[in-house]
Each structure stands twice: as structure tokens, then as C-alpha cells.
Amino acid sequence: MKTLKLFLNLFRRTMAEDLLSPLLLDSEDPPDAPCESESAPAVVILGSGDFSRSLALRLLDCGIRAVVGSRCVNRIPSGTFPDAVDLRSQEVAVSQSASLIFLAIFPEHYGSLSGLRPALAGKVLVDVSNAAQENVNAQSNAERLAEMFPESLVVKGFNTVSAWELQTGPRDGSTQVPICSGSTEGKRRVANLARRMGLHPVDYGGLSAAREIEVTPLRLFPSWRGPVTISLLLFLFFYLYGFLRGILLPFLLRERNSFYLLALDLFNQSLPAVALVVLALVYLPGLLAAWLQLWRGTKYQRFPSWLDHWMQRRKQLGLLSFFCASLHGVYSVCQPLRRVSQHRIINAAYRQVRKQRCVKSRFWPRNQTRGPSRSVEARSTDADSSAMCLLQVEAGAEQPWDEPAVWRSELYLSCGVLALGVLSLLAITSLPSVVNTLSWREFSFVQSGLGYVALSLSLLHTLFFGWDFAFHISSYPFFMPPIFVLGASLPCFVLACRCFLLLPCVSSRLKRIRRGWEHSRKCPVLQEPSMPSGVP
């Protein structure tokens, strides 16, 4: 349970940013005094652009005075800053008693501040700039700034928060602000300010971490990269497999042209398989973690980093599974609109009418339109079907009724709709705003309990869809199983493992381990200091 709580924390942390095991700054730090004196500005911002404006507004909002230092105050359009913000020349602004100075200017222009070097000595300079390129090995802007102003305390930070987020973002500490600096004092002061602004400072260590922080905003969806790649690869695999099995090989070996299936049918076969496998991938790491704990006989050993990483991506995997399942749902609803479906229905109806006419004319007298109900077997050869088709025609009835086929479609559709419903519920409860309103017990019930329900329903949907076709030799053309058989294999394995873990003997041992019990507790034995020679 404790381990799962840890995962939840990690899981929540990744929602804000993809942070690489940073150390949270000590939140017990006493907050800075509001300002040294009521008349003195607490914070100076050099630059009067977008970031400067948003930062000044946020500072004011949090009761902190702000002074904006500009190269030319007269060029700042009126109304850009509220009256409460002091607009000064750069020289006047930095000569004021504020010791915290934000550089809200692009790093290319840091050189233009060299004349201010004596005034900036001993003060904390906050470098909010972002990197221009995603090259992590280049020298950071902050390190360059520290070289230019060696007497100042340079702190990197606030660049991961956009100007817009500063103005409108939450003030409940949920927005993380990675900071780093060679000066502990500088870092402490910036962290305190961040806390007062309703942000959550995260210590990344020395200034050498600045580049990592500078490139962070350039990264597109960092926490989604792995899950999206896996889903895409799975989709490609199923799609190409289906293409080979259902289109290319029949075309090459049997001269059957069904390339039209590429556009819709193959998508609708691959998507549910991806949804199913990706959903299984959400629950597999939890099972692996449980196995590892059972095998080690303790929970006090770290999981391998790949497993940790996988755990942290479960939310993204779950949402991607939901996305694929939803697309599959939409595609399935569109199925009857396809021309080929309409063609099949009309064709089947035509064949049936033709067959009934034939049966009537063979077995009924001309003047008798409705005879006593009796079963008649009729054989037909269809131009578009290679096999002989055996029709069970009931005299007097207009429609052949295939009871098992009706049950099959009722069951798989119902399971599919229910699975999609439960998946939607899971997707909604993974939103940060909803997660924050749930207790740990509620969260684990929804994400784990309902998650397994969704997986079971999806699997049932697939199994009912497959019905007994999976056991027909005709379903294995070229010795290749259907896509749904491949897609269902991993979920079957995951559910089997889960059932094994629910066995009383296994689950009770796991419960004990998670409550702190250890199979063999090894405590390092301290070496006795060796006796000095000559002592008896």
C-alpha cells in the first residue's frame, strides 16, 4: 500500500513535468519577510516584455511589491503595467534596496547589462531564460550569466512557467518550479519567493543542472513520448500483420482483391487490439512489482529504474488505450454506413428471397401461398462465395434466424459498450482536478479495481467476438492467427497472473510484505575497531 502511495505521488508529479528524481526543497524554510520596509520594492524585474508583465502582476497579486527596470520607460505603452508597479530605468531599479533581481530579457542581451555589474554585486540574479535549442550539452545561459557577473548570486528558475501560466495558473503549489544555483542562500531566497507566489520550488542542485532546466520547456509532451511510441509501434505491427494475412497473401496466392479493406476495416481490427494490449501494459508493471516483492521477500528494495519509469507512464498508457477504444467504437458505429456492408445486406436479402421462391416452387403447390410450417434444407451456389452455402429455410418464415450468431453479437456489443464506459470513467478520474478530490482509498478502488473490470470486459468483448472462430482451421490462413487472438494473449496472461496473486496463500504473503514484513532482514554488521598493538 505504501509503495502504491509512492507511485501515486510519482504519478502526480509527472502530471506537472517530467522531473528526474529531484529533491524537494525544504518547505519548512521560514518565508521571507514581506519586504525590508514598506516603501522598498521586494523584487526588481529587468525588461518590460510579456514575462516581466505577468511576473509583476503575479507578485502584486501575492502582496509583493515589484519594480520594473527598463532601458526606456517612456517607450512602455501606457496600461501595460498597473499603477502599483514601479517603472524605472534599469540603473535606478537595480540601485534600489531589493536584493532579488529577475532578468526578464533574452540571454543574447545579457551583455548590455555589463554597466550594471557593480550595482548587481551581492544580489540574487534570477535567470528565467529558456534554451534556444534542445542541445543539453551546450553551456547554459545561467552559467554564462554567472561568468559575466561573478559577484552576484545567479539562480536558474521560473523559466518552466509560461507568462500566461504566471497570470492565470493555480496558486495552490501544484505548479512545480525547478531551480538550481551554486549559491544555497540564493536558492533559498528564490524558493521562498516561489512559495509565496503559490508555486512549488524543486531543487535541482548546482548551476550545472541549469541546461537541463532550460531545455525542459522545449520538450514536447516528454511524459507521452514512450507511451505514444509503444502504441504507434503496436498499431503498425497489427496493421501490417493484418495487411499481410488478409490482403497481400490472399491477393498474391489466391488472386483475391480486397485492398479496399486497408482504409477502414483494417483500422477497425488493429485499433481494438492496440487498446487491449496497451490496457494490459497498464496493469503489467504492477504485477511485476508484486512478483518482485514476493521474490525478494521485502518491499525495502528499489525497483529497477525501467520498472519505475513504466509505473510512472501508466496514466498515459491508460489514456491512449481509451483513445484507441473510442476510435474503435466510432469506426464500429460507422460500419453499417459502408457501401460494402450495404452491398452485403442487400445481396443476402436478394439471395434469401430467391432461395425461398425456389423452395416454394419446389415444395408448395402453385395455389398455396402459406403452407404448414416445415423445415426444408436447400443448397445454393453463390457467384461471390466460393463455398457451398447451406441455408436452413423454414417454409412460411421470411428470415432465417441464427440463434448462436444473435447471442454472439448481443454479448460482444454489450461487453464492448460496458468496457468503453468503464474506460471513460477511468480516464475522467485520472484528471488532476478529479484526482485531487479523491481519497487514496477511492483512487485505488477506481484505478485498480475498475481498471481490472475494464480489462476483463474488453477481453470478454474480444472473446465473444472471436466466439468459436478462433478454433476453426479456416481462421488460420497461411498459419497466421487472427488479429484478435494476438491482441487477447497479453490481457489473458495479465488476468491469469492477477488471479494467481489473489490466491489466499500468495496474497497474504504479499500483504505482510507490504506492511513491512521481511523474509530475511540483513543488518550490516559494524566492524569492531582493531586493538592497537601492545595492548593485551
Ligand X SMILES: NC(=O)C1=CN([C@@H]2O[C@H](COP(=O)(O)OP(=O)(O)OC[C@H]3O[C@@H](n4cnc5c(N)ncnc54)[C@H](OP(=O)(O)O)[C@@H]3O)[C@@H](O)[C@H]2O)C=CC1
Site string for ligand X, 482-521 (x = CB under 6 A): ----------------------------------------
Pairing assessment for the beta strands 124-127 and 153-156 based on DSSP bridges: parallel
**Residue (11 or 158) nearer to ligand X, CB:** 158
Amino acid, single-letter form, for residue 507: S
**Residue (131 or 320) nearer to ligand X, CB:** 131
Residues forming a β-bridge with 24: 202
Select the residue interacting with ligand X from 70, 192, 321, 447 (CB under 6 A).
70
Site string for ligand X, 290-319 (x = CB under 6 A): ------------------------------
101's grid cell: 533581481
- Neighbour-count burial of 308, counting CB atoms closer than 10 A to its CB (0-12 exposed, 13-18 middle, 19+ buried): middle
Closest by alpha carbon to 393, among 380, 376, 371, 379?
A: 376
Site string for ligand X, 116-135 (x = CB under 6 A): ------------xxx-----
Q: How far apart are CA 525 and CA 321, in angstroms?
A: 49
Q: How far apart are CA 370 and CA 262, in angstroms?
A: 46
163 interface partner picked from Cu ion, ligand X, none, CB below 5 to 8 A per type: ligand X
Q: Which residues contact 213 (CB under 8 A, 6 or more apart)?
A: 156, 157, 159, 160, 178, 179, 180, 204
Amino acid, single-letter form, for residue 519: H
Count of positions (residues) in the chain? 536
Amino acid, single-letter form, for residue 177: V
Q: Residue 217 CB, nearest distance to ligand X (Å)?
A: 7
- Is there binding between residue 227 and Cu ion (CB under 5 A)? no
- Is there binding between residue 93 and ligand X (CB under 6 A)? no
Q: How far apart are CA 4 and CA 285, in angstroms?
A: 12
458's grid cell: 474488453
Select the residue interacting with ligand X from 84, 97, 106, 334 (CB under 6 A).
106
272 interface partner picked from ligand X, Cu ion, none, CB below 5 to 8 A per type: Cu ion
- Is there binding between residue 140 and ligand X (CB under 6 A)? no
**Residue (166 or 281) nearer to ligand X, CB:** 166
Q: Residue 148 CB, nearest distance to ligand X (Å)?
A: 14
C-alpha of 383 from chain center: 50
- Is there binding between residue 52 and ligand X (CB under 6 A)? yes
- Is there binding between residue 329 and Cu ion (CB under 5 A)? no
How many residues at the interface with Cu ion, by CB under 5 A? 2
50 interface partner picked from ligand X, Cu ion, none, CB below 5 to 8 A per type: ligand X
Q: How far apart are CA 447 and CA 134, in angstroms?
A: 35
- By CB under 6 A, the residues from 154 to 193 that bind ligand X are 159, 162-163
- Is there binding between residue 216 and ligand X (CB under 6 A)? no
Report phi then psi at 378, rounded to 5: -130, 145
Query: How many other CB atoms are there within 10 angstroms of residue 93's CB atom?
Result: 23
Site string for Cu ion, 403-442 (x = CB under 5 A): -------------x--------------------------
Closest by alpha carbon to 61, among 183, 236, 196, 173?
A: 196
- With b for 16 or more beta-carbon neighbours within 10 A and e for fewer, the 47-65 pattern comes to bbeebbbbbbbbbeebebb
- By CB under 6 A, the residues from 338 to 377 that bind ligand X are none
Q: Residue 488 CB, nearest distance to Cu ion (Å)?
A: 11
Question: C-alpha distances in angstroms, 151 versus 98, 497, 530?
Answer: 16, 61, 50
Q: Specify the DSSP class assigned to residue 448.
A: I
Q: How far apart are CA 117 and CA 110, in angstroms?
A: 11
Q: Residue 133 CB, nearest distance to ligand X (Å)?
A: 13
Stretch that binds Cu ion, among 62-70, 266-274, 362-370, 477-485 (CB under 5 A): 266-274
**Residue (48 or 430) nearer to ligand X, CB:** 48
Q: Residue 237 CB, nearest distance to Cu ion (Å)?
A: 18
- By CB under 5 A, the residues from 78 to 107 that bind Cu ion are none
Q: Tell me the residue nearest to ligand X as measured from the CB.
A: 49
Q: How far apart are CA 284 and CA 498, in angstroms?
A: 9
- Is there binding between residue 219 and ligand X (CB under 6 A)? no
Question: C-alpha distances in angstroms, 64 versus 35, 96, 408, 461?
Answer: 8, 15, 67, 59
Q: Residue 71 CB, nearest distance to ligand X (Å)?
A: 4
Q: Can you tell me which residue has the cell 488532476?
A: 432
Stretch that binds Cu ion, among 212-220, 249-257, 268-276, 486-494 (CB under 5 A): 268-276
430 interface partner picked from Cu ion, ligand X, none, CB below 5 to 8 A per type: none
385's grid cell: 462465395
Stretch that binds ligand X, among 59-67, 98-106, 274-282, 323-331 (CB under 6 A): 98-106
246 interface partner picked from Cu ion, ligand X, none, CB below 5 to 8 A per type: none
**Residue (106 or 407) nearer to ligand X, CB:** 106
Q: Say if residues 393 and 356 touch (Cβ distance below 8 Å).
A: yes
- Is there binding between residue 278 and ligand X (CB under 6 A)? no
Q: Tell me the residue nearest to Cu ion as measured from the CB.
A: 272
Select the residue interacting with Cu ion from 107, 272, 285, 491 (CB under 5 A).
272
Select the residue interacting with ligand X from 4, 32, 43, 47 (CB under 6 A).
47
Q: How far apart are CA 236 and CA 259, in angstroms?
A: 17
Q: Say if residues 145 and 118 touch (Cβ distance below 8 Å).
A: no
Select the residue interacting with ligand X from 44, 101, 105, 266 (CB under 6 A).
105
Q: Which residues contact 420 (CB under 8 A, 6 or more apart)?
A: 325, 326, 329
159 interface partner picked from ligand X, Cu ion, none, CB below 5 to 8 A per type: ligand X
Q: How far apart are CA 189 and CA 184, in angstroms?
A: 9
Residues in touch with ligand X (CB under 6 A): 47-52, 70-71, 104-107, 109, 112, 128-130, 159, 162-163
Residues in touch with Cu ion (CB under 5 A): 272, 416
